[in-house]
Amino acid sequence: MKKRVLVTGASKGIGAAIATDLARDGYAVTAHYHSDQAGAQAALDAAGVDGQILQFDVSDRAQCAEVIARDIEENGPFYGVVANAGIREDGLFAGMEATDWDKVLRTNLDSFYNVVYPVLMPMIRSRKGGRIVTISSLAGIEGNAGQVNYSAAKAGLIGATKALAQEVAKRKITANVVAPGLIETAMTAAGDIPQQLLNEIPMARMGQPEEVAGVVNFLMSDKSSYVTREVIRVDGGV
């Protein structure tokens, strides 16, 4: 039986690449989306599989609990979860609206609890081990001017994942973080990135979503069974 994996934010960018890559490798991927159903379906279509798509708002705790619990009841526990969904509301902290702080923290950090919590106990009860991967950011490690809210949320993901890794290790469940640098997606098109930032990357280019997906695929695989509580940077050597 194929191992079930939930990928949040799978309708575009890094999340879509992760969903496609895992589905191609034989995982039974459930591609989550909030509003872009076609994008989530396209991620599975690109892998040439039927797959499953699931709609909910990762910032809505009650909705996450209800939708995920119903899916697990109907289809069985997830072996893995990739907590990827996130947003940005950039701006200098001195002028940041409270709503921009709250929106980013609720979507990017609270979603860790909202999504992973209802997945975890069924995963434990299955006694088959499991994989938890969270997608942080270089901003969560280094901090980034104009992204205090985003940096705080992504740093929080690192702390939460590291702590959870210690709690579940004896149950053969790993928990790791992938921290991308500048990745070429719709949100960070090459034309919008100052050349100065590109010059700071030793590889002198932006990364591709598929390069992040490859690391996630490794962490989901049996080959990573002794890797847990790690933060893996995918940043071209920054």
Catalytic annotation present for 113: no
Task: Choose the catalytic residue: 27, 33, 79, 150.
Answer: 150
Closest by alpha carbon to 230, among 149, 147, 164?
164
How far is it, in rounded angstroms, from Cα 233 to Cα 212? 9
How far is it, in rounded angstroms, from Cα 192 to Cα 203? 18
Closest by alpha carbon to 88, among 152, 20, 41?
152
Q: Quickly list DSSP for 166-191.
A: HHHGGGTEEEEEEEE-SB-SSTT-GG
Which SS3 state, helix, strand or coil, does residue 135 take? strand
Token reading at 29 = 């991927």
How far is it, in rounded angstroms, from Cα 219 to Cα 82? 10
Catalytic residues: 150
